[in-house]
Amino acid sequence: MTVSHILTAALQGLEAVEVVAEVDMANSLPGISIVGLPDAAVNESKERIRSAIKNSSYNFPVKKVVINLAPADLKKEGSGFDLPMAVGILGCSGVIDVEKTKGFAFCGELSLDGRLRAVNGILPIVASLKNRGVQAVILPEDNVKEAALVSGIDIYPAEKLSDVVSMFCFEEPKLLPRYEFDSDSYLSSLQNRHIDFDFKDIKGQKKAKRALLIAAAGGHNILMSGAPGAGKTLLSKCFAGILPPLSIDEAIELTKIYSISGLIDRDKPLVSQRPFRSPHHSASSAGIIGGGSSPKPGEITLAHHGVLFLDEVVEFPRSVLEVLRQPLEDGVVTISRAMNSVKYPADFILLAAMNPCPCGYFGDTKKQCTCSASQVQRYVNRLSGPLLDRIDLQIDVPRLSEEELLDYSSSQDESSESMRLKVISAREMQKQRFKNSGIRTNSQMNIRLIKKYCKLDERCENMMRSAISHYNLSGRAFDRILKLSRTIADLAGAKDISFEHLAEALQYRTFSNNIF
């Protein structure tokens, strides 16, 4: 065979596209030429492949080697093409039987001595190959636990290039051992969770704790404002401890995101805890939303199924905050570049904290604010109206009183574990309610579902009529109040929204009207 065809894949967002490494040789000046829109990492593989083949005790052909990564109009990035290109070269050289590689895909980076190194994004690559009918994948040993999360496809780990050659040689092949994922390890990881910050250790702040409970139960966005030292940051850190466990599908989706970002643990690759991302206020728009010349996930995608915590939110540049508006509404972000466009999931809870003014003591009962009215207005105006309209709960976190600070009794404070059980119960109600609609939480309801599940009686309608007039509520704010009321009703185990549920939901929207 003059041309060998070796199957591999290239990442495109959270999915992968089949790529065929076509290798041909000609009697011409020795050298390697790679075509098919390779990036710098792929082009540099020429020297890695040459040294790996030589140091694995095989002869590198003294010919002109041409490698085409098809389809040629798709940009190829990363070092995962080293192994398939090396296998193709050895196939054309007669070292391995190319016919035996049918049904197999290859992925991995080569070191100069022929060992295989792990690559990023192996989980979406293997999942996509499996969906396209590929029977088996050969990859580096360090990637095997991650790849084994995909069922229905054979995973063969290889330590070095010579192991791969042994499997496809013309003589008696030496099969690599298959690796299978033990799902019990995932279930045990959910049970052995450790809570670093517990709500029972936080003094006072019952209203803030209640608001955070509602936010976790319905997946609602929340903004906390209060004086320095009131406990906003500590409350936010405790918030992660009351979120419900990930389902196996959510965990695998998160693992794909962290895999392409190079952020997973190779020994324990499955992401089993909901993410809590807390970027610094110096982060750029591309860092938050994702991007770059070759688009990569940003903080909002890394916070998928979890929390994006923006401490001192008004210190973020306004241009950075404004890019959050569309993902908060749609749950996805599309990054478009001249060469390609990718879509990343971004279904997260926005948890923001801020001071009420530059000095931090506007409205404080103990310390005098030193800011002028215009300074306060400019400060809070860094949060635009459209962004604030997308935040369901807006609460004030007041300074603790002397009695609360000196109270060391935690017997009456609810623990994070107790709050988490309430969240799980409310989420289970929502799961049953939206079973066939493709959404998981009340915050994701569309207009049709709001009309179906958020019906109001006459008394509630009169209250909302007064609220719309008094607070000048927008259509979006109106819908979000109804969603919030539905979550409060779920926490109470109620079938319908009552006057009390709606009244509580309304009090969490008055902050923007009183302060901003």
Write the CATH number for 16. 3.30.230.10
Question: What is d(CA 228, CA 399) in angstroms, rounded to the nearest whole number?
Answer: 8
Amino acid at 403: E
**What pLDDT, on the 0 to 100 scale, is given for residue 513?**
47
Are 154 and 303 within one domain? Answer: no
**C-alpha dihedral, 370 to 373 to 376 to 380, nearest 10°:** 170
Are 106 and 254 within one domain? Answer: no
Phi, psi of 362 (to 5 degrees): -65, 125
Are 234 and 382 within one domain? Answer: yes
Question: What is d(CA 224, CA 391) in angstroms, rounded to the nearest whole number?
Answer: 11
Amino acid at 484: L
Sequence-distant contacts of 183-188: CB under 8 A, at least 24 apart: 183/248, 185/270, 186/248, 186/251, 186/270, 186/272
Question: What is d(CA 402, CA 16) in angstroms, rounded to the nearest whole number?
Answer: 59
Helix (H) or strand (E) segment spanning residue 127: helix 122-131
**Number of domains forming the structure of the chain:** 2
Choose one of 406, 434, 462: the last residue of a domain: 434
Are 162 and 71 within one domain? Answer: yes
Nearest residue to 345 (alpha-carbon basis) of 301, 302, 306: 301
- Could you list the residue range(s) of the whole structural domain that residue 141 is in? 3-167
Are 233 and 129 within one domain? Answer: no
**What pLDDT, on the 0 to 100 scale, is given for residue 194?**
63
Other CB atoms within 10 Å distance of the CB of residue 73: 8
Are 15 and 135 within one domain? Answer: yes
Q: Which residues contact 297 (CB under 8 A, 6 or more apart)?
A: 257, 260, 261, 290, 344
Q: Tell me how far apart the terminal alpha carbons of the chain are, to the nearest angstrom.
A: 74
**What pLDDT, on the 0 to 100 scale, is given for residue 402?**
77
Choose one of 136, 167, 198: the last residue of a domain: 167
Are 214 and 163 within one domain? Answer: no
Are 158 and 212 within one domain? Answer: no
Are 48 and 100 within one domain? Answer: yes
Q: Which residue has the tokens 């599940």?
A: 453
Is there a cis peptide before residue 317, judged by omega within 30 degrees of 0? no
**C-alpha dihedral, 480 to 484 to 490 to 495, nearest 10°:** -60
Question: What is d(CA 277, CA 309) in angstroms, rounded to the nearest whole number?
Answer: 6
SS3 state of residue 462:
helix
Q: Is residue 256 part of a domain?
A: yes
Question: What is d(CA 22, CA 3) in angstroms, rounded to the nearest whole number?
Answer: 7
Question: What is d(CA 34, CA 83) in angstroms, rounded to the nearest whole number?
Answer: 14
Yes or no: say if 95 and 58 are a contact pair by the CB < 8 Å rule.
Answer: yes
Q: Which residues contact 401 (CB under 8 A, 6 or more apart)?
A: 204
Residues facing 352 on adjacent strands: 223, 310
SS3 state of residue 492:
coil
**What pLDDT, on the 0 to 100 scale, is given for residue 480?**
93
Nearest residue to 230 (alpha-carbon basis) of 417, 372, 351, 362: 362
What is the residue-level pLDDT of the chain in tens, covering all 516 positions? 578 999 999 998 888 999 999 999 998 888 899 999 898 889 999 999 999 999 999 999 999 999 999 999 888 988 999 999 999 999 999 899 898 899 899 999 999 999 999 999 999 999 999 999 999 999 999 999 889 888 888 888 999 999 999 988 866 656 556 666 665 555 555 555 666 788 888 888 889 999 999 999 999 999 999 989 888 999 999 999 999 998 888 988 999 999 999 898 888 888 888 999 999 999 999 899 988 777 889 999 999 999 999 999 999 999 999 999 999 999 999 888 766 788 999 999 999 999 999 998 898 888 889 999 999 989 988 898 889 989 999 999 988 877 777 776 655 678 889 999 999 999 999 999 998 888 899 999 999 999 999 999 999 999 999 988 888 888 888 999 999 999 999 999 999 999 999 999 999 875 544 444
Question: What is d(CA 372, CA 357) in angstroms, rounded to the nearest whole number?
Answer: 9
**What pLDDT, on the 0 to 100 scale, is given for residue 338?**
67
Token duo for residue 382: 């860094």
Are 338 and 404 within one domain? Answer: yes
Helix (H) or strand (E) segment spanning residue 290: strand 290-291
Question: What is d(CA 140, CA 138) in angstroms, rounded to the nearest whole number?
Answer: 7
Q: Is residue 474 part of a domain?
A: no
Cα 67 to the center of its chain, rounded Å: 35
Phi, psi of 443 (to 5 degrees): -65, -20
Dihedral sign, Cα of residue 499, residue 505, residue 510, residue 511: positive
Q: Is residue 442 part of a domain?
A: no
Token duo for residue 150: 């995909």
